[in-house]
């Protein structure tokens, strides 16, 4: 007996939601001294549980779906047809999608659409902090949150495919579910313990361990692929609903990979900026120190000039001076006027050198300011992007 018949007999209404954990921590912008390189953020989604009708019910004419007269599968909208294409669904998978008449909603319209309707069965109650989609088997509907940024469109496709696979799970016979449950458990156990899918599954299962098998089915179906496929029995089941599962998993890796690429780009830009900033700061500090030294020698020279000028002419002519300049240049013992003139020449040389060094230093600092603005804009863009993964953040005032 299909699961939906057993559920209907008990009067259960089954809300099913796909939740994400809170969005990744926002990246810090570059401060005035740009000291920190931001750690990488792992962006991960958490899944759904779904229930739907058996294939013979979907394709039969003049049947009743959960008490609703459904003589035929509704004609799909162009958007649903496109989603079926992008999710690589088979005809059976498209039947499930089209029957749901899935809605793709922005944050404001999505708010509250996946709230729990009081069912306490095999699905984790949708989370308040990140639900991005749900399937309601009492009326066969699917509701999916659609971020505004097109770069996250892959997350919408994945959410829809995840929901459809949950719906597909309940079309399997009890024996098929038993076999698939064991095989899926082996597949999940073989994944790297650090793979975020483990946390995703745990978040979706929540306090309902009975939902583990269907969560495994949806997560593995949309996120896990190995060359040659998984166990042939599993792949045969998936093939009923997904025509090219490797390509479907590629949807997941593509949009999450884009976030990874942005992370890598930001990190590289920050590290490059940090290196340039540090080198420029050292150059600036050396220039400031040299300027201070030259100024100190200027003041010493002015004082010595004043001291010699205060002497009587006869005494001034007899005064001999020597000087070791700040760079080690030796001014040998000579009449005061000769030594002071030589010192003035060295001072003029130093002023010219400081001026020549100041020009490229100012240009480098202008370039750094522009680069800081560019990297800050990258960080802001990334923060805006990952914030969109959580519709509750979008709707918050």
Q: What pLDDT is attached to residue 117?
A: 44
Distance CA 221, CA 161 (A): 9
Q: Has residue 232 got a pLDDT over 60?
A: yes
What is the distance, to the nearest Å, from the Cα of residue 156 to the centroid of all Cα atoms in its chain?
16
Q: Has residue 301 got a pLDDT over 60?
A: yes
Q: What value does the mean pLDDT take over residues 64-77?
A: 58
On average, the pLDDT of the chain sits at 81
Give the 3-state secondary structure percentages of the chain, helix then strand then coil, rounded to 5. Answer: 60, 10, 30
Q: Has residue 261 got a pLDDT over 80?
A: yes
pLDDT tens-place string over residues 185-198:
999 999 999 999 99
Q: What pLDDT is attached to residue 394?
A: 61
Higher pLDDT, 323 or 57: 323
Q: What value does the mean pLDDT take over residues 103-117?
A: 84
Q: What value does the mean pLDDT take over residues 235-263?
A: 97
Query: Is 325 buried (19+), middle (13-18) or exposed (0-12) by CB count in 10 A?
Result: middle
Phi, psi values for residue 32, rounded to 5°: -60, -35
Q: Which of the listed ranges 67-81, 173-187, 195-209 does the model predict with the highest average pLDDT?
A: 173-187
Q: Has residue 78 got a pLDDT over 80?
A: yes
Q: Has residue 331 got a pLDDT over 70?
A: yes
Q: Are 17 and 381 in contact (CB under 8 A)?
A: no
Classify 143 as helix, strand or coil: strand
Confidence of residue 44 (pLDDT cuts 50, 70, 90): very low
Q: What is the DSSP letter of 70?
A: E
Contacts of 345 (CB under 8 A, 6+ apart): none
Q: What value does the mean pLDDT take over residues 306-330?
A: 94
pLDDT tens-place string over residues 112-153:
888 764 332 222 233 334 578 887 767 777 889 999 999 999
Q: Residues of the chain with pLDDT > 70: what percent?
A: 77
Q: What pLDDT is attached to residue 71?
A: 39
Q: Has residue 392 got a pLDDT over 50?
A: yes
Q: Has residue 24 got a pLDDT over 70?
A: no
Q: Has residue 43 got a pLDDT over 60?
A: no
Confidence of residue 203 (pLDDT cuts 50, 70, 90): confident
């Amino acid at each position: 007996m299909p699961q939906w018949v057993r559920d209907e007999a008990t009067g259960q209404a089954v809300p099913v939601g796909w939740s994400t954990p809170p969005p990744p921590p926002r990246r810090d912008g570059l401060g005035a001294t740009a000291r920190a390189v931001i750690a990488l953020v792992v962006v991960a989604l958490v899944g759904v549980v779904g229930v739907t009708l058996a294939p013979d019910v979907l394709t039969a004419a003049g049947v009743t779906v959960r008490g609703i007269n459904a003589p035929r599968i509704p004609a799909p909208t162009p958007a649903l047809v496109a989603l079926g294409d992008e999710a690589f669904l088979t005809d059976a998978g498209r039947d499930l999608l089209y029957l749901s008449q899935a809605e793709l909603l922005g944050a404001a319209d999505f708010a509250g659409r996946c709230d729990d309707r009081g069912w306490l069965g095999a699905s984790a109650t949708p989370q308040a902090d990140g639900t991005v989609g749900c399937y309601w088997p009492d009326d066969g509907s699917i509701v999916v949150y659609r971020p505004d940024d097109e770069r996250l469109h892959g997350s919408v496709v994945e959410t829809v495919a995840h929901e459809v696979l949950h719906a597909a799970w309940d079309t399997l016979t009890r024996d098929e579910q038993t076999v698939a449950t064991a095989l899926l458990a082996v597949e999940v156990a073989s994944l790297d313990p650090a793979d975020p899918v483990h946390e995703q599954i745990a978040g979706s299962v929540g306090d309902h361990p009975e939902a583990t098998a269907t969560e495994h089915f949806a997560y593995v179906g949309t996120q896990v692929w190995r060359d040659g496929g998984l166990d042939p029995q599993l792949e045969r089941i998936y093939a009923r609903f997904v025509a090219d599962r490797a390509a479907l998993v590629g949807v997941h890796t593509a949009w999450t990979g884009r976030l990874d690429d942005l992370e890598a780009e930001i990190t590289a830009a920050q590290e490059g900026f940090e290196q340039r900033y540090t080198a420029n700061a050292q150059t600036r500090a050396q220039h400031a120190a040299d300027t201070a030294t030259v100024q100190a020698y200027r003041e010493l020279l002015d004082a010595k000039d004043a001291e010699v000028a205060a002497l009587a002419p006869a005494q001034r002519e007899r005064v001999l001076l020597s000087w070791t300049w700040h760079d080690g240049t030796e001014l040998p013992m000579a009449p005061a006027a000769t030594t002071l003139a030589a010192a003035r020449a060295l001072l003029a040389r130093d002023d010219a050198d400081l001026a020549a060094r100041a020009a490229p230093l100012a240009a480098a600092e202008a370039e750094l300011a522009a680069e800081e603005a560019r990297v800050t804009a990258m960080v802001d863009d990334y923060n805006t992007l990952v914030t969109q993964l959580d519709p509750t953040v979008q709707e918050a005032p």
